[in-house]
Amino acid sequence: MAIKGEARVQYSSLVIEGKYPKFEMRIPLVKIGYIESEGDILDVRGCEFRILLFGIENAASIRDWLRFLVVRQRVPHSLIGLPFEWQVQPVQDDKRLNLHMCHPLNCFKLW
């Protein structure tokens, strides 16, 4: 969990930085398997991670752009014939987002 964080797409990775506590995390876009938004919350999941981004303005348009970028990264990956992470590993947490469990002061919830 981090407060006052920033998430951005840089080259072929989703870069997440937290201000308190200070950390940086890079996730390749091809490892993202699920992107959904509900209100101002963006839910990004892979086989080994789940990231909840709170307080996002225009979450639906950001969700659509992120989905587009993920698909764009999958094309060369599949042309080479490499398997995707979600094809060879089971998903750890594929439960629906339960909004009453989320704290409104959190910017990111990492697990």
| Number of other CB atoms surrounding residue 14 within 10 Å | 22
- Helix, coil or strand: residue 45: strand
How far is the first Cα of the chain from the last one, in angstroms, to the nearest whole number? 8
Count Cβ atoms below 10 Å from residue 5 Cβ, excluding itself: 23
pLDDT digits (tens, 9 = 90+) for 20-54: 889 899 999 999 989 999 999 999 998 888 999 99
Containing structural domain, residue 52? 3-110
Full-prediction pTM beyond 0.85? no
Phi-psi region of 59 (alpha: psi -120 to 50; beta: other; left: phi over 0): alpha
Q: Which two tokens stand for residue 37?
A: 């938004």
Phi, psi dihedral angles at 5 (to 5 degrees): -105, 175
CATH code, 15: 2.30.29
Decide the pairing of beta strands 34-38 and 108-110: unpaired
pLDDT digits (tens, 9 = 90+) for 59-92: 999 999 999 999 999 888 888 887 777 666 665 6
Whether the Cβ atoms of residue 20 and residue 27 lie closer than 8 Å to each other: no
Number of domains in the chain: 1
Lowest average pLDDT, out of 19-28, 55-64, 95-104, goes to 95-104
Residue 36 token pair: 């959904």
Please report which confidence band the pLDDT of residue 105 belongs to, taking 50, 70 and 90 as the band edges: very low
